[in-house]
Amino acid sequence: MSTDLIIKKLKYRRTANPARAFAMYVCQEYGNMSLRNIKQLFGLGHTGSASYSINKIRHELGRGKWKKEEKD
């Protein structure tokens, strides 16, 4: 998946983009980025949008929805 597909907004507001949400999570957890910086990087209107996406990924990680991919 290209960086452009993750960072830019989709044309349709309601279309889910799990890779984009996961990228926001990684930016905060491992990049120590603030919600304000994530909002600017991903072109969001509100920091709450980033917060919602990040918390959704945290919840899904806790439920085991995201699995670590093993490379051979």
pLDDT one-digit tens code per residue, 3-58? 666 666 666 666 678 889 999 999 999 999 999 999 999 989 999 999 999 999 99
pLDDT at 16: 75
From CA 41, how far away is CA 35, in angstroms rounded?
10
Give every CB contact of residue 44 below 8 A, 6+ residues apart in sequence.
9, 38, 50
CB 41 within 8 A of CB 30: no
CB 15 within 8 A of CB 41: no
pTM: 0.77
- pLDDT (mean) for 52-65: 93
pLDDT > 80? residue 71: no
